[in-house]
Chain A
Amino acid sequence: MSVHTDRPTSATDPSLADQWTAKLRKAAETAFPPERLLPDAQPSYVASWVYVFGVLTLVSLIWVIVTGCVLAIMGPTWWHVSSVGLFVNSLHLWSVELFFFFMVIHLWGKFFMAAWRGRRRATWVSGVVTFVISVGAAFTGYLSQQNFDSQWIATQAKDGINATGAGAFFNVLNFGQMLMWHIVLLPLVVVVLTGLHVLMVRHRGVVPPFADTPGSSPPSPAAEVAEQP
């Protein structure tokens, strides 16, 4: 390993070109130049209330996480015995309700925009997977409430889960297991997938409209987009 008196660059040390760290940084810089990662302008077609539901979903998720963290700090029984705890639990509940409300509108809005066009299929798939994992995260939350709703939902849901065989490992009647899934595993997946989803949106940008208006030029052969691998 060579030693430099000054900070090495790829010009002074060709071995940097093969370095994994340098390669990762270069790939990140190529995929996410600052103006793409945090653009200050959008194509003129980005002018509809439907676009707002993406950011509304994102901020609702933030409120879900923040209120969930407060509940986690105080422990699972706190909200049953404290009026402040009940208030925070209610904040958590309504942030979840809004999260799903906004997410469903966002999902159908993107469906009718065919937002997967132009090598954005991974963005669509990641969004649907995030939605499905979120359903699981909310479901385990309902199971972790330690009240009548938890008992009822657990005893009703066990039959469906058991029918798939998953009940052998994912026991909805086991409060401890469901609480861990709810506050650690599933939120982690949702947050990571949401982060990837947002990065994909920033990487490809917002999908353009269908080119079907009088006066709009049909796409030229040069504009054909390669099939995504």
Chain B
Amino acid sequence: MSGAKFNPDRDVADWTGPYRPYDLVKEFLIALFVVGLIIVGLTIVFSSPDDRPVTLQSWSQNNPVDFAQTAITELDGSSGVAAYGPPYVPSSAGASQQMGFFAPERWFGVHIPINTAQDYVIGPLRTLPDQPLLTAYLNTYRDASSSQQSTWTAAYEKVVANATFQSDEIRVARGNYGPVAGIIRSLTTMARSGALDGALLRSGQFYDTNYTKPLLFLANGSYLANLGGNQHLQGSQWGMMNETGNYPGQAWLWLYTLWYQVQPMKSSSNGDLEVWVIMMALTLLLALVPFIPGLRSVPRWSRVYRLIWRDHYRTG
């Protein structure tokens, strides 16, 4: 727009003042060396965190009751993943997040299908060889009507919170659980042996790098959440930006994490989507500052630049 009125927040006069020698290459190499030294110093003093990952085996060994409690919710379809909605299971009422008509989670649909009963309980148990009693449990459960299955799982779910672990087995009060008690007991034993970790990675190939299923199973229980809470990593503890130990973590996510600490996002069932919409809007705003009248004037109004260029303004 040739001839447009000069705007001090958009335009600048070409510099006609003095220049001074400035050795960019020397500055670069010195900076490279000094920053390298700082990095080595920080490494020697602080190292880096590397807490061992949780496995289904360590979970079921350290807290078998919590494992069994979670396993029954996978079998009866009441776990967090079973009711999650896309991208894991078809959307049920209120499962996916939305803001008015804006419901991208539902729009993209199920891309990582998970059938919790089949993938986490029945399928892995079917891989165990030479288990006639377990096979009988599974066949009985399979052949029962869905209402019968629900009656068994509901009855078991009521008592499993008070289960005990004795003689390497989950034990619950006597009741009519059909084959469910045997199924959960077998799955807990399988998990404690380490076999369930391998079974959940089965993709029909020798190699596997996709840990979606075991991670979602872990996330459904209380064990992982409690470990995270002990390390002050819960969402309510600004956890997204932290890491184990006293390390700075992803401090640059402070603004993203901040929104989870304030209402209404803190308690909203659509909180994740709301936070992302806010962050995308703020990011767009930051990128487009030079184009937004008023916002692009903030530096001039703030006069912080006079501090940055104080030598220039002092000498006039």
- Residue positions of A touching B, CB distance < 8 A: 38-48, 50, 52, 55-56, 58-60, 62-63, 79-80, 86-87, 89-95, 97-98, 100, 104, 109, 111-114, 116-118, 121, 124-125, 128-129, 132, 135, 138-139, 142, 145-160, 162-169, 171, 173-177, 179, 205, 207-211, 213-216, 219-221, 223-227
Contacts and interface: CB of A to CB of B under 8 A. Distances in A.
B165 interface: no
Interface residues of B, number: 105
B275 A148 contact: no
B28 A59 contact: yes
In order of increasing CB-CB distance, the 5 nearest A-B pairs are A176-B209, A165-B104, A116-B290, A118-B12, A227-B1
Interface in B35-55: 35-36, 38-40, 42-43, 46-54
Contacts of A117: 8-12, 290
Contacts of B239: 152, 156
B97 A225 contact: no
Contacts of B130: none
B53 A146 contact: yes
B18 to A, nearest CB: 5
Interface in B202-256: 209-212, 215-216, 218-219, 224, 227-228, 231, 233, 235, 239-240, 243-244, 247-248, 250-253
A148 B51 contact: yes
B265 to A, nearest CB: 11
Contact of A125 (B28, B275, B290, B311): B290
A41 B224 contact: no
Contact of B48 (A47, A90, A109): A90
B304 interface: yes
30 contacts: A40-B24, A44-B312, A47-B20, A48-B311, A50-B308, A56-B35, A93-B48, A94-B38, A94-B39, A98-B42, A112-B304, A113-B309, A128-B286, A128-B287, A138-B252, A146-B53, A148-B54, A151-B54, A152-B228, A153-B240, A155-B219, A156-B233, A157-B240, A162-B84, A167-B111, A171-B112, A173-B216, A223-B14, A224-B4, A225-B12
Contacts of B3: 224
A41 B21 CA distance: 4
A63 B39 contact: yes
Contacts of A211: 8, 12-13
A105 to B, nearest CB: 12
Given A41-B20, A162-B86, A211-B13, A121 B290 contact: yes
Q: Give the interface centre of B15, B27, B38, B104 by most chain A CB atoms within 10 Å.
A: B15
Contacts of B13: 208, 211, 219-220, 223
Contacts of B27: 52, 55
A39 B24 contact: yes
B311 A164 contact: no
B272 interface: yes
B131 interface: no
Contacts of B227: 148, 152
B39 A113 contact: no
Contacts of A159: 272
A163 B91 CA distance: 12
Interface string B157-177: 000000000000000000000
Contact of B111 (A60, A154, A168, A220): A168
B313 interface: yes
A94 B45 CA distance: 11
Contact of A62 (B32, B243, B276): B32
A114 B300 contact: yes
Interface string B273-302: 101100000010011111100001011101
A63 B11 contact: no
Q: Give the interface centre of A154, A177, A210 by most chain B CB atoms within 10 Å.
A: A210
A111 B300 CA distance: 10
A132 B21 CA distance: 34
